Amino acid sequence: MPTETFEFQVEARQLLQLMIHSVYSNKDVFLRELVSNASDALDKLRLEKLWDDSLDADVSDLHIEIDIDKDARTLTVRDNGIGMSYDEVGQLIGTIANSGTAKFLQELREAKDKAGEDGLIGQFGVGFYSGFMVADEVTLLTRRAGESQGTRWSSRGEGTYTLEKVDDAPQGTSVTLHLKPADPENQLHDYTSPWKIREIIKRYSDFITWPIRMVPEKSGDDAETPEPETLNSMKALWARPRDEVSDDEYHELYKHIGHDWRDPLETIRLQAEGTFEYQALLFLPAHAPHDLFTRDFKRGVQLYVKRVFIMDDCEALLPPYLRFVKGVVDAADLSLNVSREILQQDRHIEMMRRRLTKKVLSTVKEMMTKDQERYGTFWREFGTVLKEGLITDAENRDAILAVASFASTHHDTEPTTLKQYVERMKDGQEDIYYLTGESRQSIENSPHMEAFRERGIEVLLLTDPVDEVWADAVGEYEGKKLRSVAKGQIDLDAKDEDGADDDREKQTEEYAGLLGWMKERLDEDIKDVRLSSRLTVSPACVVSDAHDLTPALENMYRAMGQ
Ligand code: ADP
Ligand code: MG
């Protein structure tokens, strides 16, 4: 079988260039990325074998192995996991399937002059390609479990890679880095030093549940080959007492399961004892993923049963509006063969979901009282998603409203909570006013706002599409009605002075002719013409009936086929 040469996809090429010329100081993380991939591959094989016993694969000693060759200056990370087929190698390694990376590149271009490339690389996951930070050539040999033929992939990172079919590849994948020449000035970056490898694994990959072994070099030519040493403790972080685990260790676990390079915003631990025992370790990320609102966003946390990995993206454990939460749930009393369908109907899982949901919401509440800035970041990134819960989760509606905040006419940039809004309400004001629209500016320019501005009445400025839906569905907060200033009759003067009602009646009589004429002319398009106290500058505005759908909602329901 001939060796074929392929070109990297444009984005992949850009990313590789970045890696090759990277001056990113923390190059050690390349090893974390390779180990993380190897660990995923072992998880996948174990599961596949569990479902299909006839799969021709050996699962008796699943592990990761690190080999150093000082003379050849190579470092190899090997696993006997699921492996990749010829086509998969081309797809997974030759292109950037992960569209988050495309976004990374775009942000990089935009921010190049400001933060510089260096800081940014540290913020994004670049997985497999990070090997090119330390190597000038990378080869990968792999065989998909169940297949007889293997594949060799090789690249110097400069525009092309080669693929070749091989007959005698062992099960799994091995990635060999041909390390860049040693830097005599900087011994710290000597990746052929066992000491260095030990240190990196301990720091970044200690919790990996598969053994990571290293065979130390022979001391002399005829010395015996030493026994491999296991570098990681394999201890599940969620099962260890809190005071034994450092924040850094938690963060490394998050990066592994969240495929994120950045620290999480918040770590949440929960231990449930009793009839249905489980441990949960959840993370709130610091940044919303770019595909959070797409249909195929993978939601859910990892499910383990007694330390054994069962599935990724277990959506039964959290409601859809918490789909950004990452983490691990380890349940003691589930079958290892449990399926997604069974989980959806299981009573214990249902209880677990309710408990985890409340725990996440109470954590956000705590953040709000203890650390405004962190809460601010959280709400900016995930507020839009959380508001979906106001519509779908009646049980936790109040808890979500309590942590929600909104732009308002009270302040140009600082959002307000409903509680703060109510505290500022004017004497005699009974309702909470809001207006929805596409942007803060378009809302503020709306004629509906005139009377409110004139009278100094605060209005919430809601710009997410979901806002109309929840505001309608929720209806009130602490006994105060939520009212759109664009709907129905809002008589702001009624309570100002006693004579206002009489005045209005008099004026309506006075203008009866004009109103009647307008109504007749516009009969096809409108229901009624009224005098209004809500305008100060504009002569007229169109108002929906209190129970009518707004145009945006009409569109949404139509799109949903209702
Ligand atoms: P990510 O791990 O975030 O998906 P990577 O760049 O690290 O991104 O890896 C890309 C893909 O290549 C992985 O999703 C996986 O499908 C495949 N892959 C990488 N390393 C291995 C491996 N050791 N065994 C099997 N598949 C692998
Ligand atoms: Mg990876």
Tens of pLDDT, residues 13-24: 888 887 787 666
CA 184 to chain centroid, in Å, comes to 41
Burial 220-250 (b: 16+ CB within 10 A, else e): eeeeeeeebeebbeeebbbeeeeeebeeebb
Mean pLDDT of 62-76: 96
φ, ψ for residue 336, nearest 5 deg:
-65, -20
Compute, in degrees rounded to 10, the torsion defined by CA atoms 376, 379, 380, 381: 120
Q: Are 126 and 101 in contact (CB under 8 A)?
A: yes
- At residue 156, the 3 state secondary structure works out as coil
Q: Rounded CA gap, 354 and 151, in Å?
A: 46
Predicted local confidence at residue 412, as pLDDT = 93
Looking at the chain, the whole-number percentage of residues with pLDDT higher than 70 is 85
Ligand 1 binding pocket includes 165 (Cβ within 6 Å): no
Ligand 1 centre and the CA of 126: distance in Å? 10
Compute, in degrees rounded to 10, the torsion defined by CA atoms 474, 476, 481, 487: -10
- Name which residue leads in pLDDT, 500 or 238: 238
- At residue 55, the 3 state secondary structure works out as coil
pLDDT, tens digit, 9 for 90 and up, residues 180-232? 988 777 666 789 999 999 999 998 899 899 999 998 776 666 677 778 999 99
pLDDT, tens digit, 9 for 90 and up, residues 105-142? 676 666 555 545 555 555 555 688 889 989 999 999 99
> What confidence category does residue 310 fall into, taking pLDDT thresholds of 50, 70 and 90?
confident
DSSP state for residue 334 in the 8-state scheme: S
Please identify, by atom number, the ligand 1 atom nearest to the C-alpha of residue 126. 6
Specify burial of residue 26 (Cβ count, 10 A radius: 0-12, 13-18, 19+): exposed
Ligand 1 centre and the CA of 81: distance in Å? 12
pTM of the entire structure? 0.76
- Name which residue leads in pLDDT, 22 or 476: 476
The predicted complex's ipTM stands at 0.99
- At residue 420, the 3 state secondary structure works out as helix
Q: Are 179 and 192 in contact (CB under 8 A)?
A: yes
* Ligand 1 probe mutation, 40, 103, 129, 133, most atoms within 8 A of CB: 40
Stated as kind and residue range, the H or E segment containing 224 is: none
Predicted local confidence at residue 123, as pLDDT = 52
Token pair for residue 491?
A: 């008589």
Helix, strand, coil percentages, rounded to 5, for the chain:
40, 20, 40
* Ligand 1 probe mutation, 37, 93, 171, most atoms within 8 A of CB: 37
| CB-side neighbour CA atoms (13 Å) of 234 | 13
Ligand 1 binding pocket includes 535 (Cβ within 6 Å): no
| Start-to-end CA span in the chain (Å) | 57
pLDDT, tens digit, 9 for 90 and up, residues 495-509? 544 455 667 677 777
Q: Rounded CA gap, 361 and 102, in Å?
A: 32
Q: Rounded CA gap, 409 and 130, in Å?
A: 47
Ligand 1 binding pocket includes 80 (Cβ within 6 Å): no
Q: Rounded CA gap, 2 and 125, in Å?
A: 33
Question: Tokens 């809460």 belong to which residue?
Answer: 375
Q: Kindly give, in sequence order, each residue whose CB lies less than 8 Å from that of residue 286, ignoring residues fewer than 6 positions away.
A: 262, 263, 264, 265, 377, 381
Q: Kindly give, in sequence order, each residue whose CB lies less than 8 Å from that of residue 414, ignoring residues fewer than 6 positions away.
A: none
pLDDT, tens digit, 9 for 90 and up, residues 70-87? 999 999 999 999 999 999
Nearest CA to ligand 1 atom 7: 127
- Residues β-bridged to residue 269: 281
> What confidence category does residue 562 fall into, taking pLDDT thresholds of 50, 70 and 90?
very low
Q: Rounded CA gap, 39 and 35, in Å?
A: 6
